């Protein structure tokens, strides 16, 4: 039985919990738990940082003394960041600039789609087929390091990227039906 934590300081825990269960299917056994403390993080084999507001999340992580525990967790265990979570995992954040965990060699620009299209649903092509991708005030990944691998693009920009054990998506797969992103993440546990 593997345990996946979903950071639950802010943002949508419940949709990721359901998505994890659906991705695991019967048999394999994946338990999803809410993470609000370093002690809870220690019980996990992997962590999801959900969407939400990255500035608020960084502030709360600092207040709860979770920044260093998550950084050292990420040195050996997989982390998947969705949207605001992707911003937290990035090395450099702009528009506006803010601190981050820097666990992946990518640079992101926050709220980069502009007012007209700041939230939209798109069809996304990836190696396994096509999926629906929900973008909500999403960042754009402006630079991807040599070690990182782009798994899907949207309007010419990478939107699903992994680097070793870590993954980011700038869209919200937990809000759509396709479980490929969660399934691939579970494969890294
Ligand atoms: N716009 C948010 C931020 O910059 C991210 C939005 C999301 O996670 N859906 O933190």
Q: What is the largest CA-CA distance in the chain?
A: 45
Rg (CA), the chain: 15
Supply the CATH number for residue 155's domain: 3.40.50.880
From 16, 83, 162, 182, active-site residue: 83
The confidence score (pLDDT) of residue 117 equals 82
String of DSSP letters for 42-83: HT-SEEEE-SS-HHHHHHHHHHTT-HHHHHHHHTTS-EEEET
The two three-digit tokens of residue 37, written as one number: 């403390």
pTM above 0.95, yes or no: yes
Residue 57 Cβ contacting ligand 1 at under 6 Å: no
174 is catalytic: yes
Cα–Cα distances (Å) from 100 to 25, 71, 91, 143, in that order, read 33, 10, 7, 15
Mean pLDDT rounded to a whole number for the chain:
95
**Structural domain boundaries, residue 170:** 2-186
Q: What is the pLDDT of residues 23-74, one digit of tens each?
A: 998 666 899 999 999 999 999 999 999 999 999 999 999 999 999 999 999 9
The confidence score (pLDDT) of residue 26 equals 67
Residue 53 Cβ contacting ligand 1 at under 6 Å: yes
83 is catalytic: yes
Per-residue DSSP letter, 4: E
What number does the ligand 1 atom closest to the CA of 111 have?
Answer: 1
**What domain count does the chain have?**
1
Which of 51, 75, 77 lies closest to 136, judged by CA?
51
The confidence score (pLDDT) of residue 68 equals 98
Spans in the chain with pLDDT lower than 50: none
């Amino acid at each position: 039985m593997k345990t996946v934590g979903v950071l639950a300081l802010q943002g949508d825990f419940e949709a990721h919990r359901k998505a994890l269960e659906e991705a695991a299917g019967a048999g394999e056994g994946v338990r999803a738990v809410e993470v609000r403390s370093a002690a809870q993080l220690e019980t996990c084999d992997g962590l999801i940082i959900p969407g939400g507001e990255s500035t608020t999340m960084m502030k709360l992580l600092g207040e709860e003394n979770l920044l260093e525990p998550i950084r050292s967790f990420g040195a050996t265990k997989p982390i998947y960041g969705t949207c605001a979570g992707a911003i937290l995992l990035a090395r450099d954040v702009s528009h506006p600039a803010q601190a981050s965990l820097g666990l992946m060699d990518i640079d992101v620009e926050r709220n980069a789609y502009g007012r007209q299209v700041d939230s939209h649903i798109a069809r996304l092509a990836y190696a396994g087929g096509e999926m629906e991708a929900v973008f909500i005030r999403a960042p754009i990944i402006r630079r991807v390091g040599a070690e990182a691998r782009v798994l899907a693009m949207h309007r010419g920009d990478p939107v699903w990227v992994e680097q070793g054990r870590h993954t980011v998506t700038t869209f919200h797969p937990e809000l759509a039906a396709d479980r490929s992103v969660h399934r691939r993440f579970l494969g890294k546990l």
